[in-house]
Amino acid sequence: MPETKQKKPIIQLVDVYKEYRAGTISTLALKRVNFQIHREQVIAIMGPSGSGKTTLLNMIGLLDRPTKGKIFFDGLDVLRLDDKTLANLRNTKLGFVFQTFNLVNRLSVFENVELPLIPRGIPRGVRAKMVLDAIIKVGGDESWLSKKPNQLSGGQQQRVAIARAIVGKPVVLLADEPTGNLDRASAKVVVKTFLNLNKAGHTVVVVTHDPEVANCMDKIYVIRDGEIIDEYSSNKAESLINKV
């Protein structure tokens, strides 16, 4: 029987280095990074503070360019793309979730989730349906839409932030320490939300320093001093979502 052809990764980093300079001082934030993400994977990038996790996520999210190496997105050589094309890729193919939620408190939940859709010229009626669908996908309901973010709990605010990230139907969802500001119960709900979104077809990448969160994902990459030093499959039997 012929071998099954392996699917190409949606995102691939090849021998990536990232150096930051401040005057005569240089800091090597990433070195020798080779990394692949395939469609519908749910993975964690884990490491201590200052290990290069966020820098790596910025590379994966096309927010920064490497000092050396190659980045491919769905077969495209990212370094050959102009800023306008890169911005369009980020806006349509990638969704971002942050530790601090980054919600606008003077806007309603509806308006916060709607924000990424407005530049696309989508009619308001269609936007309204997309916003409600996104809120329901993260475990919210219609009553959330008229509230301001500061009227919700921290866990609910993070789920609103996730709804904003997925409302435009991105291919890849990237989350930087998404449970870092949450209590254990709220963190558990947020992790379950990511896993449910993955089951619905989203590719999910979570950066975390928390081994319990990382162990909920299918695969874990460990980064230290800017270099990926290990990768392994998680043991979900011991994961946060299965603990009381």
**How does DSSP assign 210-237, residue by residue?**
-HHHHTTSSEEEEEETTEEEEEEE--GG
The amino acid at residue 166 is I
Residues 192, 198, 201: CA angle, nearest 5 degrees:
150
* Whole-number Å distance between alpha carbons of 205 and 11: 11
Strands (E) located in 94-177: 94-98, 172-176
Helix (H) or strand (E) holding 205: strand 203-208
* Whole-number Å distance between alpha carbons of 86 and 9: 18
- Please enumerate in sequence order all residues whose Cβ is within 8 A of that of 241, keeping only pairs 6 or more positions apart, or say none: 188, 191, 192, 195, 216
Distances (CA, A) of 106 to 50, 118, 181: 33, 17, 21
- What pLDDT sits at residue 4? 41
* Whole-number Å distance between alpha carbons of 203 and 191: 14
* Whole-number Å distance between alpha carbons of 223 and 56: 9
Question: Can you read off the two tokens belonging to residue 177?
Answer: 């320490």
Domain boundaries, the chain: 39-63+83-242
- What pLDDT sits at residue 173? 96
- What pLDDT sits at residue 121? 86
The amino acid at residue 218 is D
- What pLDDT sits at residue 236? 66
**Phi (first) and psi of residue 108, to 5 degrees:** -75, 165
User: From first to last of its 244 residues, what are the pLDDT tens digits of the chain?
Assistant: 444 445 789 999 999 999 998 888 889 999 999 999 999 999 999 998 889 999 999 999 999 999 999 999 999 999 999 999 999 999 899 999 999 999 999 999 999 999 999 988 899 999 999 999 999 999 999 999 999 999 999 999 999 999 999 999 999 999 999 999 999 999 999 999 999 999 999 999 999 989 889 999 999 999 999 999 999 887 665 666 666 4
* Whole-number Å distance between alpha carbons of 196 and 139: 10
- What pLDDT sits at residue 7? 77
Distances (CA, A) of 43 to 37, 140, 190: 8, 24, 15
Residues 16, 22, 26: CA angle, nearest 5 degrees:
45
What CATH number does domain 39-63+83-242 carry, 3.40.50.720, 3.90.79.10, 3.40.50.300, 3.40.50.1820?
Answer: 3.40.50.300
* Whole-number Å distance between alpha carbons of 62 and 92: 12
- What pLDDT sits at residue 238? 61
What secondary structure letter does DSSP report for 51?
S
